[in-house]
């Protein structure tokens, strides 16, 4: 199924089902939902360099996943996606609570999640479900643990490949357990993945401005960040906004190995295809930061994706046209589009002089073309001397992916006032 075939209805931010004590949920039109956390989902495919659970899926297993939310509130709900499933997905139980440590959850915060009043639900093939809201006070940058129990075999799992966060698995139904005793299974060594969980939303508390969505590839996704450290550039941006007294939702819509123009088995649907779902489909989105194109230029970032392909050659003109498509889509929805310059990669395995010329032309258009509403110069943040290389100490050793210091430099290059809408 192509990404163009998955077009879930956009979530309505102004309404939700509010539980009524002793009764069924009712509609409350006064509540506004904010995106607290999200991740773009992908079709299951084997990663050549580390193990995931996506291809096999789950059967009579509980899955415990940890996320760091960027908004607070008094109520919370989750989104579960079966976007790439070929059959309905039966979710037998789900819960949420504040993270204690590892796979443990603070017992006093454990909440059972329901779906239209039921503790279980079936997610249609190609679709998603949203849980009923549950009362759980949260603060920005707090870690939450979401537990999903799958009794029947799921088949290959819709997932997000590189989470840089540890996910835990237990045999049997342990979605109500606060302790971590049963959660003995995790992929190690590895970078972690998220499965079926597509989003967490909060309501109540302090009114917030519209969300900022960071859209891109592995450099947005955070490959090279600290595992379980939550120090990707969107994380640092969220912390800067809070420290400056300008808190707003910051949502990470990056996918490692993703390309702007073409799908790939390992890198997910093309950026131009998934933009509507992963950016415009977020609750109350107001601004998008676009950092896309370096994988198109390299052409080697997905070792599983090029065999037998007959795609047109990547040119600066084609990449610019792809960016223009994202700008048009943003403006049609009243979303401010921030263009980020493509970061240096000289010294990386996929570098070439021809590719460098394309990067330079695209960056010149981003900087001076006047088509993006705002420009952030990530290239200069990582390469202030204009050498074409990421400065030593800012990358992880591959001359392509920033490390934590590089991600901080990127986030600090963003004018916070330019994100306001």
Q: How high is the pLDDT of residue 206?
A: 82
Q: Structure tokens of 210? A: 């519209």
pLDDT of 116 strictly over 70 = yes
| CA–CA separation, 89 and 82 (whole Å) | 7
Split at pLDDT 50, 70, 90, the class of 16 is very low
Q: Taking each helix axis as running N to C, give the angle between helix 404-412 and helix 233-243, from 0 to 180 degrees, rounded to the nearest 10.
A: 50
Cβ atoms of 363 and 341 closer than 8 Å: yes
Cβ atoms of 370 and 192 closer than 8 Å: no
Domains of the chain plus CATH, in order, are: 15-200 (no CATH), 209-419 (3.40.50.1110)
Split at pLDDT 50, 70, 90, the class of 31 is confident
Identify the CA nearest to 191 among candidates 49, 62, 61, 58: 49
| Phi, psi angle pair for 81, to nearest 5° | -115, 140
pLDDT of 149 strictly over 70 = yes
**pLDDT (mean) for 47-54:** 80
pLDDT of 379 strictly over 80 = yes
- Among left, alpha and beta (phi > 0; psi -120 to 50; other), residue 213 is beta
Split at pLDDT 50, 70, 90, the class of 50 is confident
| Phi, psi angle pair for 317, to nearest 5° | -65, -45
Q: Is 89 exposed, middle or buried (0-12, 13-18, 19+ CB in 10 A)?
A: buried
Q: Structure tokens of 90? A: 């039966």
Q: How high is the pLDDT of residue 45?
A: 82
**Residue 256 to residues 26, 148, 321, Cα–Cα distance (Å):** 40, 24, 22
Cβ atoms of 39 and 160 closer than 8 Å: yes
pLDDT of 212 strictly over 80 = yes
Split at pLDDT 50, 70, 90, the class of 309 is low
User: 303-325 burial by CB neighbour count: b if 16+ within 10 A, else e?
Assistant: eebeeeeeeeebebebbbebbee
Q: How high is the pLDDT of residue 170?
A: 98
pLDDT of 24 strictly over 70 = no
Split at pLDDT 50, 70, 90, the class of 90 is very high
Q: Side-chain half-sphere of 156: how many Cα atoms within 13 Å?
A: 14
Q: What is the mean pLDDT of the chain?
A: 91
- Percent of the chain at pLDDT > 90 equals 85
């Amino acid at each position: 199924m192509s990404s163009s075939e998955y077009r879930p209805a956009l979530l309505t931010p102004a309404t939700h089902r509010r539980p009524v004590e002793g009764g069924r949920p009712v509609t409350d039109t006064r509540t506004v939902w904010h995106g607290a956390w999200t991740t773009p989902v992908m079709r299951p495919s084997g990663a050549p360099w580390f193990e995931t659970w996506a291809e096999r899926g789950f059967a009579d297993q509980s899955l415990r996943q940890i996320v760091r939310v960027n908004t607070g509130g008094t109520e919370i709900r989750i989104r579960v996606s079966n976007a790439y499933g070929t059959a309905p997905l039966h979710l037998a139980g789900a819960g949420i609570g504040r993270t204690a440590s590892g796979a443990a959850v603070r017992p006093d915060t454990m909440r059972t999640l329901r779906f239209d009043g039921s503790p279980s639900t079936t997610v249609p093939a190609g679709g998603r479900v949203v849980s009923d809201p549950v009362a759980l006070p949260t603060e920005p940058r707090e870690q939450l643990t979401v537990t999903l129990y799958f009794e029947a075999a799921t088949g290959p799992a819709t997932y997000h490949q590189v989470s840089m966060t540890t996910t835990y698995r237990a045999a049997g139904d342990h979605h109500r357990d606060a302790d971590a005793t049963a959660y003995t299974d995790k992929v190690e060594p590895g970078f972690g993945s998220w499965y079926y969980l597509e989003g967490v939303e909060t309501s109540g508390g302090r009114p917030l401005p519209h969300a900022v969505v960071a859209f891109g590839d592995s450099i947005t996704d955070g490959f090279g960040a600290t595992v379980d450290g939550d120090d990707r550039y969107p994380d640092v941006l969220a912390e800067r906004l809070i420290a400056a007294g300008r808190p707003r939702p910051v949502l990470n819509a990056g996918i490692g190995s993703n390309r702007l123009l073409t799908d790939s088995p390992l890198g997910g649907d093309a950026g131009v295809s998934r933009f509507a779902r992963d950016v415009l489909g977020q609750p109350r989105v107001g601004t998008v930061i676009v950092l896309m194109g370096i994988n198109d230029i390299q052409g080697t970032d997905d070792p599983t994706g090029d065999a037998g392909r007959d795609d047109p050659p990547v040119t600066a003109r084609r990449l610019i046209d792809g960016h223009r498509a994202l700008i048009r889509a943003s403006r049609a929805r009243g979303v401010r589009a921030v263009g980020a310059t493509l970061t240096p990669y000289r010294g990386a395995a996929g570098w070439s002089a021809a590719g460098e010329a394309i990067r330079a032309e695209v960056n010149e258009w981003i900087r001076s073309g006047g088509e993006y509403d705002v420009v952030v110069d990530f290239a200069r943040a990582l390469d202030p001397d204009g050498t074409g290389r990421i400065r030593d100490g800012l990358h992880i050793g591959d001359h392509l992916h920033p490390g934590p210091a590089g991600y901080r430099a990127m986030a600090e290059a963003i004018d916070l006032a330019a994100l306001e809408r």
